[in-house]
Amino acid sequence: MLLSMQIRDFVLVDALEVDFLSGLTVLTGETGAGKSLLVDALSLAMGERADAGVIRQGAQRAEISATFDITGLAALQQWLLEQELSAGETEENQCILRRIIDNHGRSRCYVNGCSATVAQLRTAGEWLVDLHGQHAHQSLMKTAFQRDMLDAYAGAGDLAARVAAQYREYAALMARIEVLESQRERQQAEREHLRWQIDELTALRFDGAEWESLQIDHAMLAHVAELQQGTAAALDMLSEQDDSVLSLLHMARSELQRLAAVDTRLTEYVALIDSAQTEIDEAVHGVRHYLGRLDADPARLADIEQRMAQIVSTAKKYREKPENLAVCLQQAQENWQRLEQDGDVDALRIQAGTVRQNWQKSAQQLTLARESAAESLSANVSRMMQQLALTGGRFDVLLSALPDAGMHGAEQVEFLVAPHEGSVPKSLAKTASGGELSRISLALQTVLGQAAAVPVLVFDEVDVGIGGGVAEAVGRLLRELGKQRQVLCITHLPQVAAQGQQHWQVSKQRHSDGAVISLVRELSAVERVEEIARMLGGEVLTETTRLHAQEMLAGVVSVRH
């Protein structure tokens, strides 16, 4: 249940804290006093859209906090744990929703003191409060709203969502098939072109490493004479001539070795010359081996040039560098595979058939759920209508099979009503008057509220357009509903207000600085008589209206006991 609300700088409220009781709580006040402010504030705390216009004039931000007792709401408690929103400033089995809106329209949300998103705030709110606005009966005229109400009553919301998702998947597949059919000729040509590219590049048997090797071998064979002449000359200079590098090093080493007998410090330089001789010996060995392998091979050179010309020609055709041809082959293979998958209309038709079967199966399950719920909802709302001075009236949920199942199932849902005994049930829009529609809407919302697990029901002037004995019946109905759920009702009817276990009055007050604010206070027993009398008789209160108010309240107490 809703335990309390704290509101600061919201519209006409400067600072307000309200504690709520179980049962039926009524809020009354003069027209324009701001009776709906509490409901509007609660809506924002539950994630409704907000803008800077809700901030009280002269303030920097508006702040709203609502504290709930969530004992018994295991699903919500589990969700809070999964979202890591169960810790923070709350007591055990409590949930606090908090919203702050600054003067730039920015919004900050908190659940149990933890920073949260608007979506998380809205999700938590859906477990806690079911709000029925004063214009709910207008939405009742729409077939989509009627269908959603029936699905909610049947507990088939998730099933209806699955039917819609499966239908969208099936429709998307069929659209894809249609596109492929229309593009079949173009895609076939594209597949053939890609297949030709793949065959050509595969036949080339090329990779980047081969291109590098060909370039090295071609450079060597094209300059073999120059390489032979140069390496032979280098070999002569290193070891073959009388004054070769090795001969001169040998003479230098002998001289230093002799002198080292005089000065031993020269020994380390002898060692360095020994190291140089060793490295030059290795170089001589390597150059001699290289020179021995050098051989002019015109046939091999011609083969290499022919292979390189083939690769270059292919690369020009694809407008790529030769070393990138392997990447071209890979891309062509991937594109061809994608087209094969996308272009396999038969496979897509099989997939679409499977999705259609699943969708039709889900739609059949939804139909069964709706049929069962339609019978129960019709009976319960019809019974509730009798309590709302629609004696002999009947409410029917008509399910009309559609030629083809669609996103919303295999049938159209329509609410019919016969407001009086002997009348034929017809569409709500064609049958019910404004007052009758308000009562039917209340009956529906009451039945749905009784079936739902949401612990708090809020009715914002849903009793518009009724009065007299009907208003008294509405009040009794709300009081009975308060035995099962916590009910908050904003009303202008004294017959409804008298039924409340808790009574709050909303009024306006002007400050000395000229600012107007709304005040909300709980009424005592004596004050309730005055407020009910005001609602009965207007601004000027008489003893007659006070006595009438006392009788109304006493009648409620006697019935209650």
Tell me: the pLDDT tens digits for 388-413?
Answer: 778 888 999 999 999 888 999 999 99
Instruction: Clarify whether residues 473 and 560 are in a common domain.
Output: no
Instruction: Clarify whether residues 307 and 204 are in a common domain.
Output: yes
> Where is the domain boundary, 320, 342, 364?
342
The residue written with tokens 């793949």 in the block is: 198
Instruction: Clarify whether residues 213 and 314 are in a common domain.
Output: yes
Instruction: Clarify whether residues 513 and 530 are in a common domain.
Output: no
Asked whether residue 364 is domain-assigned, the answer is no
Instruction: Clarify whether residues 193 and 321 are in a common domain.
Output: yes
* DSSP strand pairing (129-132 vs 114-116): unpaired
- As for how many domains the chain has, the answer is 3
For residues 462 and 431, give the distance between their C-alpha atoms in angstroms, rounded to a whole number: 19
Give one word for 273, left, alpha or beta, with left for phi > 0 and alpha for psi -120 to 50: alpha
For residues 391 and 497, give the distance between their C-alpha atoms in angstroms, rounded to a whole number: 24
What confidence score (pLDDT) does residue 536 get?
Answer: 85
φ, ψ (nearest 5 deg) of residue 551: -65, -40
Mean local confidence (pLDDT), 543-549 = 87
> Where is the domain boundary, 327, 342, 357?
342
Return the bridge partners of 112, or none: none
What's the distance, CA 91 to chain centroid? 30
Q: Under 8 Å CB-to-CB from 472, ≥6 apart: which residues?
A: 495
Instruction: Clarify whether residues 117 and 43 are in a common domain.
Output: yes
Q: Indicate whether this model's pTM tops 0.85.
A: no
Mean of all residue pLDDT scores within the chain: 84
For residues 73 and 93, give the distance between their C-alpha atoms in angstroms, rounded to a whole number: 9
What confidence score (pLDDT) does residue 561 get?
Answer: 42
Instruction: Clarify whether residues 201 and 99 are in a common domain.
Output: no
> Where is the domain boundary, 342, 368, 394?
342
What confidence score (pLDDT) does residue 538 get?
Answer: 66
Instruction: Clarify whether residues 250 and 298 are in a common domain.
Output: yes
What pLDDT digit, counting tens, does each position of 240-272 carry?
888 888 889 999 999 999 998 888 889 999 999
Question: Does 167 score more than 90 pLDDT?
Answer: yes
Range of the structural domain that residue 273 is part of = 188-342
Asked whether residue 437 is domain-assigned, the answer is no
Instruction: Clarify whether residues 82 and 34 are in a common domain.
Output: yes
Of 147-151, 260-264, 280-284, 467-471, the one with minimum mean pLDDT is 467-471
Instruction: Clarify whether residues 193 and 336 are in a common domain.
Output: yes
Q: Quick check: 129 and 458 in contact, CB under 8 A?
A: yes
Instruction: Clarify whether residues 203 and 329 are in a common domain.
Output: yes
Mean local confidence (pLDDT), 84-103 = 80
For residues 122 and 46, give the distance between their C-alpha atoms in angstroms, rounded to a whole number: 5
Asked whether residue 478 is domain-assigned, the answer is yes
Asked whether residue 490 is domain-assigned, the answer is yes
Q: Which residues of 417-446 are buried (b: 16+ CB within 10 A; e: fewer)?
A: bbbeeeeebeebeebbeebbbbbbbbbbbb
Asked whether residue 539 is domain-assigned, the answer is yes
Residue 226: pLDDT band with limits 50, 70, 90: confident
Asked whether residue 403 is domain-assigned, the answer is no
E strand or H helix at 135, and its extent?
none
What confidence score (pLDDT) does residue 342 get?
Answer: 57
Instruction: Clarify whether residues 338 and 484 are in a common domain.
Output: no
Asked whether residue 298 is domain-assigned, the answer is yes
Asked whether residue 408 is domain-assigned, the answer is no
For residues 151 and 324, give the distance between their C-alpha atoms in angstroms, rounded to a whole number: 60
Written as six digits, the tokens of 167 are 């239908």
Amino acid 539 reads E
Measured between its terminal Cα atoms, the distance across the chain in Å is 24
